[in-house]
Amino acid sequence: MTAEVWAMTHRARQQLADDLATISDDAWRRSSLCQGWNVEHVVAHLTAVASVGSTAWVRSIVLAGFRPSVHNERRLREHLGSTPAETLSRFREVISWTVAPSKDLPAYLGEVLVHSEDIRYPLGIPNPQDVPTATVVADFYATRNFTVQSKTVASRLSLRAEDGAFHSGQGPEVTGPTLALVMTMAGRRSHLDQLSGPGLPRLIERLA
């Protein structure tokens, strides 16, 4: 499973890099779905995530006073280029890297998947629709609060994908595309219009 998740991560990074190669400089400055960050910031963050192992992560989070937002902002700035082209070049360098702070690889796959959509969605770039990859992340998110409070968002609800095998939990049902369920568990409201079912009002309340 480890090799498979790394292969998914590398493929997702490559797909994003290929998409970014076609956008304008103005698009790089567009706000992403990740509050406070534009497209270039998110790409630099993904480069940082791919570059920080366990020892470096522990040192960074301690020096940040155990404040993840401070840690993320500092590491992002390290990988931000002087131009969008340089930022993209730095991201391309780490596409095939197998560095992570812990063994929770689906969480870091989720970082790539969610942040790629944070970029693509406001720019109107079609998603690759890699349902098997999104399913791995959805399964993890439904059972763990890790980089996001996804398990809390999904609790006491039955979440079921209409395009894949993901199905988790008990309670009022919410259905929709796997990626939309992943983005919602990650705390994004952007994909709520793709979901339906009697559990949707409860889900919306949790994201308010």
Q: H helices of 50-130, where?
A: 54-63, 68-79, 84-93, 105-123
**Within a domain: 137:** yes
Position 162 in a domain: yes
CATH number of the CATH domain containing 55: 1.20.120.450
Residue 122 within any structural domain of the chain: no
The number of folded domains in the chain is 2
* 6 lies in the same domain as 69: yes
Q: Is the pLDDT of residue 66 over 70?
A: no
Both 37 and 98 in one domain: the answer is yes
- pTM of this structure: 0.93
Same domain membership, residue 68 and residue 137: no
Domain holding 194, by residue range, is 131-207
Residue 143 and residue 76 share a domain: no
Q: Can you count the helices (H) and strands (E) in the chain?
A: 11, 3
146-202: pLDDT as tens digits: 989 999 999 999 999 999 999 999 999 999 999 999 999 999 999 999 999 999 999
Q: Distance between CA atoms of 100 and 107, rounded to whole angstroms?
A: 10
Three-state DSSP at 144 gives coil
What CATH number is associated with residue 149?
Answer: 3.30.1050
